[in-house]
A and B are shown apart, each in its own frame.
Chain A
Amino acid sequence: MSTSPTARPRPSLGFDRFSGLYLWALIVIVFGIWVPDLFLTTGTLHSVAAQQAIAAIVALAVLVPLATGAYDLSVGATVNLAAIIVTVLQSDKGWSMWPAIAVTVATCFVIGAVNGFVVVVLRVNSFIATLGAASIITALQSIVSGQTQPLPPTSRAWSDLTQREVFGFQIVVLYMLVVAVLLWWVLSQTPVGRYIYAVGGNAEAARLAGVRTGTWTWISLTTSAMLCGVAGVLYASLSGPSLTFGGALLLPAFAAVFLGSTQLHPGRFNVWGTLIALYVLATGIKGLQLVTGVQWLADLFNGVAVITAVAFAVWRQRKARPRRDAAASQRSKGTGSAEMDVGGVTPASGQQPAAVR
């Protein structure tokens, strides 16, 4: 091992940490010149903000477990289930809004707790565990809905929940910002955040530093499911119930989180980076759709984004710590079951909690 002091304080190049914001500005300028009367309107601003608010909450739901090194692939299915439950309870059972919402979020809490149990206690790789859970939740959704799309509730309060306007924006945007601020506070301002990132960075080292790795993984998966519950409720209120909406959210959410980990605090999954990434992608897609009118752009964009983001993170990691890291991972082989190391940004879903070996 090298003994020369090699630590260098990171040069504060705004271009490194804020590239997303520059890109955002570039996109706005390009489309602003290209199709000014379509793109540069408050209507576009409001619709992009509101349309992406729910995707943003789902992205944050993905972010929390990912920060502990656990994948939650069941977010899409959970959003769907929540949207159906909250609708069925109101339309078919005649419940009023708030009890329906409470039961929906409680159901999602249970889903998250079960995910946590499978990952932490049964030690199933989170990737597999939540993939399986997604399938089970989809089945539950079919049972609850009877495989027909329920009618949307008709109460005024229900549509006002998300569609009331605040400064021209639909209020759902505000909800999303509240969730984001809360998560930012927990992850970056409290000891909880430190524990969560420590578990994601090196679960065994965190455990030896006294961090309850299993507990935090469990809590993060439960938080994720409850955020999905909230997202499902808001979606049902905003756009009406859908049997399939959630599934389409999964990849954009991961794309935003991974892309976000290259922003603001590179190498760390972070709240504002994720939101920036999400809205940069959405703005670009919106602009191209206005110009070309084709629908497949979103899929293309998100796919390219997730791969690019992870490839970039891997490259940055390798550049930052060349040989020593290779030697370290040589030595640490044997720790990992199926380890999905995404460029050192974290996910080591194999080495979950308290791996006593």
Chain B
Amino acid sequence: MTPREVVERANGAGPLPPSLLVRGLSKSFGPTRALADVDLRVDAGTVHALLGENGSGKSTLIKTLSGYHHPDPGGSVEVGGQPLQVGVASSAYNLGCRFVHQDLGLVDTCSVADNVALTAGFPTRCGAVHRKTLRRRTDEALQRLGLALDPDALVGGLAAAERTGVAVARALADADVTGVRLLVLDEPTATLPDTEVKQLLAVVRAVAASGVGVLYVTHHLDEVFEVAEDVSVLRDGRKVVTTKAGALTRRELVEHLVGGELQEVSAASDSLSAVHGAPVLHVQGLSAGPLVTANFTVRPGEVVGVAGLTGSGRETLLPAIFGAVPRSSGRVQVGDESLAPGRPDRAIAAGLTLLPADRVRLGGVMSMSARENLTLPALRALWRAPRLRRRLEVAQTRTWFERLDVRPPGAVDAPLGSFSGGNQQKVLFGKWLRCAPRVLLLDEPTQGVDIGAKAEIHRQILSAVEAGAAAVVSSSDYDELVALCHRVLVLRDGRLVAELSNGALTVAEVAREALGSEDRAA
């Protein structure tokens, strides 16, 4: 008996209306269509997996459902048979939609019970929190999900999967369960270790078994086959397929995901000049966080890409090489010089630079001016005792502004935080180019920047490389990697699993390797 039948039987009144019914939903940002005519149906008591590469429109779909985006006119959304007022945040909530995002939004320093009660409300007696009732309610909420957790345990001390479980319990706890129609889980396993994924999937099944429809967004194909009844794939804002999960092989699913780009060979990497000379960057047995013994070298004049899903170790690789995060073992060498771990200043002195992925938090000092940010790593060139040559500094900054086409052009003394994302990134990129580095480590160099800035940054990477630097580009945008790189290293589960170059370097192949498209015997 499937869960759906259980629910139907329990209600005794024929089939329930679907938890979610989307018809003809579109969303445009200016001239670009992020979602085009999407239909989607999630039945009550089932898990419906939603797959799609980065930029396929998944996030836009979820944000539209939650009322964050106003969709284009014409489409309709029903939740449990009731029409949703699209674009109104409270409407989704009132109809029983609950969202659990990747960033769970839990308070680490509070107990499980307190976290659950933060949205559900605290049971009180004479104004004071009634701990016994709180414990009992939390216990029930956890039990329903099959979670054996102490309500008094601190959330910060839980395993990652347990934390996700608490977030799910919280999402469901604020109404009695029959009120919740739809639970949207946005990449809940992205940062979970393999061992904990099973535990979370059990929670997801328990939610579905209670009659709630689950829209399960993921990158991991294994989970689709393990937990989902139905699966839909988005590509370029369109839904390309909806089918029973059992009706597809893994390979077919990957083909749906990456589309008909099978024979596409990158154009840009052909135009790159041939690479020669001794390697300038050696990475030997590097382990850090999820990353396990990475080995590779990069030669001058070469652009090497790094691909991998969230949690594959891709986010850790470049910071670990640079010394931004500690490494647990391994060696990093620039030329003949071995780098001390955790010392960005030494790495910079050796000719290594890192453009971090998180621009605001790690990239620049937003309260300082663009000029001060641009010159920060190499101030010595401006120092003529007894002071920094302000005029020379302004002139240099202006030159970089022109070279990188930073807008607005004259605003060298405006705080970095006042620039748009793309222009911030250009300034930070210029800050490293100005150091004349031997190796550029670029972590998501074009994330969140507009198309014009993206092209400019690409151009600058290539010209720096032409001038004899080496570049390592880590990106979740496979198109970018294929267009830009000589070869692409693919990480999966913390290991380097493939190196793609020449004819093998296509978006589809990178995606296949990152996802792990061979049917695993498990």
Contacts and interface: CB of A to CB of B under 8 A. Distances in A.
Whether chains A and B associate is yes
A5 interface: yes
B300 interface: no
Interface string A202-221: 10111111111000000000
Given A201-B365, A202-B365, A7 B386 contact: no
Contacts of A268: 367
A2 B365 contact: no
Contacts of B413: 9-10
Interface in B330-378: 342, 344-345, 347-349, 354, 356, 358, 360-368, 370, 372, 375-377
Interface in A179-196: 185, 189-191, 194-195
Nearest to A204: B362
A320 interface: yes
A197 B375 CA distance: 13
Contacts of B364: 202, 205
Contacts of B360: 324, 328, 331-332
A191 B388 contact: yes
Interface residues of A, number: 44
Contact of B383 (A6, A191, A198, A208): A191
Given A202-B365, A208-B356, A335-B361, A2 B421 contact: yes
Contact of B377 (A202, A210, A324): A210
Contacts of A3: 420-422, 449-450, 453
A357 B325 contact: yes
B365 A325 contact: no
A1 B448 contact: yes
Given A191-B388, A201-B368, A208-B362, A320 B421 contact: no
Contacts of B376: 194-195, 198, 206, 209-211
A7 B423 contact: yes
B179 interface: no
A9 B414 contact: yes
A321 interface: yes
Interface stretch (B202-210, B271-279, B403-411): B403-411
A344 B344 contact: no
Given A7-B411, A210-B344, A201 B448 contact: no
A7 to B, nearest CB: 4
A201 B423 contact: no
Nearest to A9: B411
A357 B322 CA distance: 14
Secondary structure of the A contact surface, majority rule: loop
Nearest to A3: B450
B418 A321 contact: yes
Nearest to B376: A209
A208 B453 CA distance: 23
Contacts of B415: 267, 320-321
Nearest to B368: A201
Contacts of B361: 202, 204-205, 328, 331-332, 335
B468 interface: no
Nearest to A335: B361
A56 B324 CA distance: 39
Interface string A9-42: 1100000000000000000000000000000000
Give the most central of B347, B410, B418: most A CB within 10 Å: B418
Interface in A214-256: none
Interface in A324-344: 324-325, 328, 331-332, 335, 344
A9 B411 CA distance: 6
A201 B365 CA distance: 6
B175 interface: no
Contact of A205 (B362, B386, B407): B362
B365 A189 contact: no
Given A9-B411, A205-B364, A331-B358, A321 B417 contact: yes
A185 B344 contact: no
Contact of A191 (B349, B380, B418): B380
Nearest to B452: A3
Contacts of A356: 325-326, 342
A190 B367 contact: no
Interface of A: 1-10, 185, 189-191, 194-195, 197-198, 201-202, 204-212, 267-268, 320-321, 324-325, 328, 331-332, 335, 344, 346, 354, 356-357
Given A3-B422, A212-B345, 15 more contacts: A5-B419, A6-B420, A7-B423, A8-B418, A9-B410, A9-B413, A189-B388, A197-B368, A201-B367, A204-B361, A208-B324, A210-B348, A210-B377, A321-B366, A357-B325
Interface of B: 322, 324-326, 342, 344-345, 347-349, 354, 356, 358, 360-368, 370, 372, 375-377, 379-380, 383, 386-388, 407-408, 410-411, 413-415, 417-423, 431, 448-450, 453
Q: Which 5 A-B pairs have the closest CB atoms?
A: A201-B365, A189-B387, A328-B360, A3-B450, A191-B379
28 contacts: A3-B449, A3-B453, A7-B418, A8-B408, A190-B383, A191-B379, A194-B375, A195-B376, A201-B366, A205-B356, A205-B362, A205-B364, A208-B363, A209-B376, A209-B377, A210-B377, A211-B345, A212-B345, A267-B367, A321-B366, A324-B417, A328-B360, A332-B361, A344-B367, A354-B342, A356-B325, A356-B342, A357-B325
